Amino acid sequence: MAGEAPGRAAESGTPPSARFALWTLIALAVVAPWPFGSTPSWAVRSITWISLATAVVVSLAQVRRGALCLPRVPLWPVAILVAAGFMQLVPLAAGLHAVVAPGSASVWHPTEPAAHALLGPRARPISIDPAATSAWLGLTSGVVAVGLLAAPALGRRRTMMAAAWTLVGAGSLVAVYGIVARTAFGPLLYGYIAVPTVSPLGPFVNKNHFAGYVEMPALLALGLGRGLWRQAASGPSAAAPSASPSALVAFGASAIMVTAVLLSMSRGGALGVLSGIAVLAVVDFMTARHRGAMGKVMVPVGLLLLLAVLVAVMPGEVHERLLGIGRPSDNSTLYRKAIWKDALRAWKASPLFGQGMGAFADVIPRFKTSAGQFRVEHPENEPIEIAVEGGLVALAAAATAVVVALARSVRAIRGHRDRVLRGIVTGALAGVVALIVHGLVDFNLRVPSNAIMFVALYAVVVAPLGTMTSQGRSRWYLVAALAAIAITYARAADAWPLLREAHASAVKAAQSDTLAGAALRVSMADARVREYLRRRPADPEGWLLAAWTTAANGRGDHPDGPVLSLTFARRLRLERGYDAADLVRAAIRKRPANPRW
């Protein structure tokens, strides 16, 4: 469809299943921000199963018709990224493991005899948290597959317009609610839910994630308005008699969303919006059919003036916050720099294949030099997090998938006769770039609602590339891969219940009034915590609890307890270990003369 408006042939060739995938994706993008960005475990599981089921059903329906319909964009980078996640779940012999992923091997096959005896010598996967890697694999594969299957449906002009307006409306609703909630509810989500963060906003626990979600449809609306305005300026058109009022609505929605991003005082969000506007101006100029002297100047100047006006009307606290990023004493900047240094050292431990997609929280404790006992779940930088978890293989695959798609999209819409479509795709492209730039100081792609909006805009970006069909045996590959991913995700077992059971048994042992009752509880806790560590070997709290159960298991002079406690509690820079430490102190207070403690 490059170079010409989509016609009836393109519309009639779109399989109905592609439209089903598209509207499922858009429905998820609309609904996902409201349950706290879909970060609760039940929301993540729901989105994962909905996206996987949709992808399986749509791909199977198309295969049964004889051909699989996908956008004409290289799929091998996505395949490599997914394959890397799969590979991290395959058990490797200790020798091969040490060569492929040394940092991961040092966790699964420790040199300390007591720890080695606890974990055993058998083959282990690269991922040091297989459950987290399975969860990442299910969610990422499901959402990306739905986006790829949905892109062909956007070849219809009417569908492209409907999808763009729906996404703009979703972003505007979240933005308006965020502005109102900031004034009416303060730090309480929905007016009554207190959260353990300093900056919740709208339905999000973190203002940066609010800004990350809103900035994408804000730029989409700006591109949509630009396209509608150009169409109106080109003369009366029967196809769009109300283009100019629609353009004003789109510009107004964009202004509201940009205002909400600035009011959130998210500096990453402001940086993303600024970058997105710059990209929109450049791409708009590069792809315009007629580049008059006035157009060369007015588009970028007009967009920058719009942003300058919006910044000027912001309250003083917003200006102070946005300008504080360069100050040497800025705490958030200092924190990020420290975590980035630690994360880069973690990456160097397994530079090629990482230590487990989704497992950053278990990787970083061994390398931490800052943040004390606070649990660090993300390094506040998307490329660094991908590199630590998946190594250079995953980072290169993800970067290639995005860069190639953006470059080909720009070429595809250059000189496109449909000004509105060109404006929508340009706005979507700017929104994708905005979140990527924001991702240099945050982790929006790990928030399900923001990742879904990102994939929806990515589908819009690749739509002008046209579609390709896969026939013969190759058309079954996607169905088989999705089925394998669904089975892997369904079979993944979360290890956390084991640790909770071990902790509960240990507490009861410390509170027991009889030695027999205490010994039974200690044995139960010991069995649970050992099973837990064989599934999640890098969790410091598990090792401290294992040290306690070993020392308390009727053998006061057993050397394993001190070995486990010292080598792992210190080497892993204990996080959340204060729970187990309190347990030990409670036991000592209960029986201060007992030599086990």
| pLDDT tens digit at each of 597 positions of the chain | 333 334 333 444 678 999 999 999 999 999 999 999 999 999 999 999 999 999 999 999 999 888 899 999 999 999 999 999 999 999 999 999 999 999 999 999 988 887 888 888 899 999 999 999 999 999 999 999 999 999 999 988 899 999 999 999 999 999 999 999 988 988 889 988 888 776 889 999 999 999 999 999 999 999 999 888 888 777 654 444 445 788 899 999 999 999 999 888 888 898 899 889 989 988 988 887 665 545 555 555 666 666 666 666 555 555 455 555 555 556 777 888 899 999 999 999 999 999 999 999 999 988 888 776 677 899 999 999 999 999 999 999 999 999 999 999 999 998 778 889 999 999 999 999 999 999 999 999 999 999 999 999 999 999 999 888 877 777 788 899 999 999 999 998 888 888 888 878 877 776 666 667 777 888 888 899 889 999 999 887 788 788 778 777 644 444 444 434 433 443 344 344 434 455 445 544 444 444 333
pLDDT value, residue 292: 54
Q: How far apart are CA 225 and CA 244, in angstroms?
A: 9
In this prediction, residue 571 carries a pLDDT of: 39
Q: Give the ranges where 329-476 is alpha helix by DSSP (H).
A: 331-349, 360-363, 382-413, 419-438, 448-462
Local structure of 467: helix, strand or coil: strand
Distance CA 259, CA 269 (A): 11
Question: Strands 467-470, 68-71: parallel, antiparallel or unpaired by DSSP?
Answer: antiparallel
User: pLDDT per residue over 335-393, tens digit each?
Assistant: 888 999 999 999 999 999 999 999 999 999 888 887 766 778 999 999 999 999 999 99
Whether the CB-CB separation of 351 and 394 falls below 8 Å is answered with: no
Dist. CA 428–CA 410, nearest whole Å: 11
Q: Which residue has the tokens 């007015």?
A: 298
Q: Which two tokens stand for residue 324?
A: 């504080």
Tokens, residue 375:
């649990």
Helix or strand run (H / E) with residue 293: helix 293-312
State the pLDDT at residue 193.
86
DSSP state of 575: S
Contact 573/368 with Cβ under 8 angstroms?
A: yes
Cα–Cα distance, 16 to 11 (Å, whole number): 10
d(CA 519, CA 496): 23
Task: Identify whether the C-beta of residue 106 lies closer than 8 Å to the C-beta of residue 572.
Answer: no
CB 568 within 8 A of CB 541: no
Give the per-residue pLDDT at 386: 97
Q: Which two tokens stand for residue 22?
A: 């598209």
Cα–Cα distance between 439 and 451 in angstroms, integer? Answer: 11
Residues 509, 515, 520, 522: what is their CA dihedral angle, to the nearest 10 degrees? 40
Q: Are 73 and 118 in contact (CB under 8 A)?
A: no
CA 428, CA 406: separation in Å to the nearest integer?
A: 10
Secondary structure of residue 174 in the 3-state scheme: helix
What is the token pair recorded at 385?
Answer: 């997090």
